[in-house]
Amino acid sequence: MKRYSTLLIVLLILSVFTTACANSEKTEGTDAKNKYEGLTVKIGVQGSGGLFGKAREEKWYETEFEKLGVKVEWAEFLSGPPMTEAMASNKLDFAGLGNMPVIAAQAAGIPIKVISQAIDGKNNVAIIVPTNSTIQSLADLKGKKVAVAKGSNAYNFLYRSLDDAGLKDSDLEIIQLQTDEAQPAFESGGVDAWATWDPYITINTLTGKGKVLTDGEQSGILSPSFYIVREEFANKYPELVTLYLKVLNKSLAWEEANQDVALDRYAKERNIPVEVIKGTLTRSKSINIPVSDEISKELQKTADFQFESKNIRKEIEVSTIIDNQYIEAADKEPLK
């Protein structure tokens, strides 16, 4: 009798153990399935069309994210600062923007991570003047009107360039204008110079409306751009950050393999000549690479200058928000 009682106890223990394991596996499976339930990834872009325009048309992001049950939502912006403001209110997860908006966001305490470098920064930002202008050097800007979008990478480039030339912002009249306002002001003579970025540099130089006074390559003041993510999102869904960069790599691979098609497409989107688009891509070639120590140091120079100029309220260490783990993971395992 004792023998049968012992056997019954053993069977009961095994039954409980098996049930517990089954329930555990069921719970884990349910958790994995529900991890992204109701999640919508919000991707910010500056304007429509371009590299992201092709991806949006082909639904490359939607296709990859929906495999995980995640929806994709797009939001268009005119410049970087509004993008970081959207991140601050949890209304945006990913964005591509210039160096100054990144620095301003970190200084303002907006929790973001820099996940890759988007543009090298040598020729994508410049100070341009009308073709018939008598302005030959930065010193000639004294007493002149210069347009710039406050908080943009061009804003930083302008102020650092003036500092190198021994000029103060009070030596000229700096007019804060977004690109849609600055272009007509530049064409009409409402301003004497314009600190801006591409495609506006190329559009104006190739159409004969303007010429470059100085850019990053000439001055040594780089204006790299970056891809960033909302920090909370990255901490919670690191694999989705890597996926975002993988799809971006796919888009860049398409552009590289179909250059003529891409040029024609981008030209039609903006209703401008192919030559202008070709010049734009030369000045602002899109990349998606880890942020090097050299670029990190250049970004720190900008941050230090902006603090000294009281354009940001506190000193920051930019290396603390640079995180290359996602782009390194994306490069190791590209999309099939």
Residues 142 and 272: their CA atoms lie apart, in Å, by 33
Percent of the chain with pLDDT over 90: 71
Residues 12 and 7: their CA atoms lie apart, in Å, by 9
Nearest partner of 189 among 169, 175, 171, judged by Cα: 175
Q: Model confidence over 250-266: pLDDT tens digits? A: 999 999 999 999 999 99
Nearest partner of 239 among 112, 322, 329, 323, judged by Cα: 329
More confident residue, 262 or 25: 262
Residues 223 and 160: their CA atoms lie apart, in Å, by 11
**DSSP alpha helix (H) spans, 69-190:** 80-88, 99-107, 153-164, 179-188
Angle between helices 238-257 and 50-58 (to 10 degrees): 100
pLDDT of 33 > 80? The answer is no
pLDDT of 21 > 60? The answer is no
Give residue 31's pLDDT band: very low, low, confident or very high (50, 70, 90). Answer: low
More confident residue, 287 or 13: 287
Mean of pLDDT values over 68-93: 94
Cis amide prior to 273 (ω within 30 degrees)? no
pLDDT of 16 > 60? The answer is no
CB atoms within 10 A of CB 202: 25
44-48, 242-246, 303-307: range with lowest mean pLDDT: 44-48
Give residue 152's pLDDT band: very low, low, confident or very high (50, 70, 90). Answer: confident
The class of domain 51-120+226-332 in CATH terms is: alpha beta
Q: Model confidence over 314-326: pLDDT tens digits? A: 999 999 999 999 9
Residue 12's pLDDT is what?
41
Nearest partner of 47 among 153, 199, 177, judged by Cα: 199
Asked if 91 and 266 touch (Cβ cutoff 8 Å), the reply is no
**Fold designation for 125-219:** D-Maltodextrin-Binding Protein; domain 2 (3.40.190)
Q: Model confidence over 161-196: pLDDT tens digits? A: 999 999 998 999 999 999 999 999 999 999 999 999
Give the max Cα distance, the chain. 111
Place of tokens 């090097």: 292
Sequence-ordered strand ranges (E) for 109-209: 112-119, 125-130, 145-148, 173-176, 193-197
- Residue 142's identity, in one-letter code, is K
pLDDT of 81 > 90? The answer is no
Token pair, residue 294, equals 């050299």
Give residue 29's pLDDT band: very low, low, confident or very high (50, 70, 90). Answer: very low
Residue 131's pLDDT is what?
97
**Average predicted confidence (pLDDT) for the chain:** 89
Residues 240 and 295: their CA atoms lie apart, in Å, by 25
CB atoms within 10 A of CB 247: 20
Q: Any idea where the domains of the chain sit in the sequence?
A: 51-120+226-332, 125-219
Residue 245's pLDDT is what?
98
